[in-house]
C-alpha cells in the first residue's frame, strides 16, 4: 500500500483541490458545533481538518499515505487505515470521509469502521462510476453509481441527507443530533 500512496500520489493529491469541504457542509446545514470531536478519514494534506479546526471543532485526521503524513509532521494528522481505525467506538461527534471509499475494495468494512467510531454523524463524499473523473484515477477500485452507494451506505447507517448523488450525510442508528 505504501508504494501506491507515496510521493508520486502525494504530488498528484497536491494538484487536486476538492474545495472547502467544511464550507460545503455548512451550506447543507450539517451541524459542526465548536468543541465537537471530529475525525477526517483520508485527510491528505489536512485541509479539511484545518477548516474544521478553524470552526472550533477539535479535529484530527488520518490518512493511509504514511509518506505524506510523516513529511507534514502536523500533530493533528496521523497515519491510519479506513478499514482498521485505531479509535474506540463512539469517539467522534462527526466523522468526515471524502474521496476515499472508491479507493477501497473492502468498502463495507471501511463504512462499518466509520460508523463504529462515530457518535452520530458521518459525512461521506464519493466519486461514482457515473462521474466523468472516475476513470482518471487508477487507484479507483470500487465502481458504484449513486444509487449503489446509497444502498451500501444505508446498509450501515441512516442516510439523512444526500446531494448531487455523491454527497451523503449519515446518522448512526440509535443516535440523534440536535
Q: Please, what's the largest Cα pairwise distance for the chain?
A: 43
Of 53-62, 77-86, 97-106, minimum mean pLDDT range: 97-106
For residue 1, is pLDDT > 60? no
Please give the DSSP secondary-structure letter assigned to residue 105. T
Q: What pLDDT is attached to residue 12?
A: 63
d(CA 55, CA 49): 10
| Mean pLDDT (whole number) for 3-20 | 61
Order the strands of the 118-125 sheet from edge to edge.
77-79, 58-63, 37-41, 92-98, 118-125, 167-171, 158-163
- Cβ-based neighbour number of residue 64 at 10 Å: 23
Question: If we measure between CA atoms, which residue out of 50, 27, 28 comes closest to residue 38?
Answer: 50
Q: What pLDDT is attached to residue 24?
A: 75
Q: What pLDDT is attached to residue 172?
A: 96
Higher pLDDT, 142 or 58: 58
The CATH code of domain 7-171 reads: 3.40.50.150
Q: What pLDDT is attached to residue 69?
A: 94
Domain boundaries, the chain: 7-171
Give this prediction's pTM: 0.89
Q: What pLDDT is attached to residue 28?
A: 79
| Mean pLDDT (whole number) for 70-91 | 96
For residue 160, is pLDDT > 70? yes
State the pLDDT confidence band at 23, using cuts at 50, 70 and 90: confident
Per-chain mean pLDDT for the chain: 87
| Mean pLDDT (whole number) for 3-22 | 63
d(CA 105, CA 1): 13
Q: Which residues, in sequence order, are CB contacts of 151 under 8 Å at separation 6+?
A: none
> Which contiguous run of DSSP H or E holds residue 168?
strand 167-171
Q: Contact, 37 vs 7, CB < 8 A?
A: no
d(CA 64, CA 70): 11
Amino acid at each position: 500500500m505504501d508504494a501506491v500512496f507515496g510521493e508520486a500520489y502525494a504530488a498528484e493529491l497536491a494538484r487536486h483541490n476538492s474545495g472547502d469541504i467544511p464550507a460545503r457542509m455548512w451550506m447543507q446545514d450539517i451541524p459542526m458545533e465548536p468543541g465537537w470531536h471530529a475525525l477526517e478519514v483520508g485527510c491528505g494534506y489536512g485541509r479539511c481538518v484545518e477548516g474544521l479546526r478553524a470552526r472550533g471543532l477539535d479535529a484530527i485526521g488520518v490518512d493511509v499515505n504514511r509518506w505524506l503524513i510523516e513529511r507534514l509532521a502536523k500533530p493533528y494528522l496521523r497515519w491510519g487505515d479506513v478499514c482498521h481505525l485505531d479509535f474506540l467506538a463512539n469517539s467522534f461527534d462527526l466523522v468526515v470521509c471524502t474521496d476515499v471509499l472508491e479507493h477501497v475494495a473492502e468498502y463495507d468494512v471501511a463504512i462499518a469502521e466509520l460508523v463504529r467510531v462515530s457518535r452520530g454523524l458521518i459525512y461521506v463524499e464519493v466519486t461514482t462510476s457515473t462521474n466523468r473523473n472516475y476513470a482518471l484515477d487508477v487507484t479507483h477500485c470500487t465502481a458504484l453509481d449513486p444509487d449503489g452507494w446509497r444502498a451500501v451506505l444505508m446498509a450501515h447507517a441512516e442516510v439523512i441527507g444526500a446531494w448531487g448523488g455523491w454527497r451523503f450525510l449519515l446518522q448512526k442508528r440509535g443516535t440523534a443530533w440536535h
